[in-house]
Chain A
Amino acid sequence: MNKPLTALTDEELIKEFQDNNTLEAYEYLVKRYKDPLMNFVYRFVGDRDVCTDIVQDTMIKFYLNKDSYRSFAKFSTWIYTIAGNLAKNELKRRRRRNIFSINNNDDEKTPQIEDKMFLSPDRTADGQIKNEIIQKALLKVKPVYREVVILRDIQDLSYEEISEITGLAIGTVKSRINRGRIQLQKLLKHIYRE
């Protein structure tokens, strides 16, 4: 291969890693995807430390199962699928832990959204607080809707890519995105008054 590794596409890089076990190609792919995956998983799970662990696990899975990637699929959708599955597993584990734990602390279980009564209009306008509120509302949306909303509106992926990642039909993806947005808007009705 004459091209430098930096100039290679994702698919070319993984092929290089698959064929010649070039660790450098793997490192380039990690560099490219660590931040988008961190962002996606953080928005989905809502915990920075857990999110870092999940993305690390995603990269390890990618390293260990590199041969399970098939060239007809896009690398981005493949890696997003792994990360998404691990994030869902984490949510399931949390739910189980909450069911069996003796001290069921509701504050830990569900993030609280500040009521509009406690926020003055000028505070709501403040970008940082608004972002926090949106994030907390996002975590209250059902995971099936949350995942697609994040992929579409935060990660800027196309419907086709989301359909590949989630394994859903494009129509289902669209309807889920729509429902997710409606749920989110209901939760944030004090910010988005029609």
Chain B
Amino acid sequence: MNKIYSENEQKQYKLIKDLKELPKLKAPENFEYNLMTKIQNKNFGESLNQKSQFNFVKFFAPSAIVVTIVLLFFIFLPSSNQRNVPSNSPRIIENQAIADNSVAPFKKEENAKNSNQASQNTISIPQLSHSSNERPLNQIDDSRSVKVDDYISGANSNQKGLERGNIVNGGSEPAGDNGFFISERPDKKTLDKYRARVDSVKKEQLKADSLKKVQKTH
């Protein structure tokens, strides 16, 4: 390696010689006077102030890159995310609806006794969010589902979306995100029955509490 450098030096001999012979520049005569004056007056000027200057280019260049990356991330991510979001199956929703209004299990017996009384009370039952007209959130698009009946009868000749991975649906009902399982809708009568029981228990509990308070005050 050193040989190559020395060979090159020989080739560049003239250039090196000329560079060495370049006239030496000298400092101006008042150089030291100016310097000492600056030091005595503590006039250090730019050499100290340069550090505090805010550099826009240095600041904005990295931040622009970060913003671009974040934007790209949000542009390309949703398509893959939509499939990964777990959706609630109707069965889970039903259980949750019951659990929202539920009370401790040991009061179930009491419920049975007061069921008749409760049925006479006017109770406003909130409608479930997934009534027959509404579709649950995050439901997979129906256009991608395959109607099995049509498929068997041969009426699906023009139907699109028969690619692999499409969801098989059992009939005209909108497909849930339950893959190959046919969704089971919650029974409204059963729900009403449970709610009526829960509400009556709550009312009885309130009555008992108010009686206790009256007794305490006396």
Contacts and interface: CB of A to CB of B under 8 A. Distances in A.
Same assembly: yes
A14 to B, nearest CB: 16
Contacts of A43: 22, 25
Contacts of B47: 57, 60-61, 64, 86
B57 interface: yes
B31 A55 contact: yes
A60 B44 contact: yes
A188 interface: yes
A38 B34 contact: no
Contacts of B160: none
A192 B17 CA distance: 12
Interface in A150-194: 153-154, 156, 171, 174, 178, 181-182, 184-185, 188, 192, 194
Contacts of B27: 34-35, 38, 52, 55
A135 interface: yes
B18 A134 contact: yes
A42 B35 CA distance: 18
A13 interface: no
A101 B31 CA distance: 31
23 contacts: A27-B32, A27-B36, A30-B32, A30-B35, A35-B25, A35-B26, A35-B27, A38-B25, A38-B26, A57-B46, A57-B47, A60-B35, A60-B38, A64-B48, A86-B47, A131-B23, A134-B18, A156-B20, A178-B5, A181-B8, A181-B12, A181-B16, A188-B15
A18 interface: no
Given A60-B35, A154-B19, 9 more contacts: A30-B35, A56-B34, A64-B47, A64-B48, A89-B50, A156-B20, A181-B8, A192-B15, A194-B11
A86 B47 CA distance: 9
B19 A153 contact: yes
B28 interface: yes
B22 A48 contact: no
Contacts, number: 85
Nearest to A153: B19
B39 interface: yes
Contact of A60 (B1, B14, B22, B39): B39
A64 B22 CA distance: 33
Nearest to B8: A178
Q: Which of B19, B24, B26 has the most CB of A within 10 A?
A: B19
What 9 pairs across the A-B complex have the smallest Cβ distances? A153-B19, A34-B27, A57-B47, A39-B25, A38-B27, A42-B25, A181-B12, A38-B25, A39-B24
B15 A181 contact: yes
A192 B46 CA distance: 42
Nearest to A37: B27
B39 A135 contact: no
Interface string A20-54: 00000001001100110011001100001001100
Given A52-B31, A56-B34, A60-B38, A154 B20 contact: yes
B12 A56 contact: no
Given A34-B31, A57-B47, A178-B8, A134 B19 contact: yes
Nearest to B38: A60
A96 B35 contact: no
Contacts of B26: 35, 38-39
Contacts of B25: 35, 38-39, 42-43, 48, 51
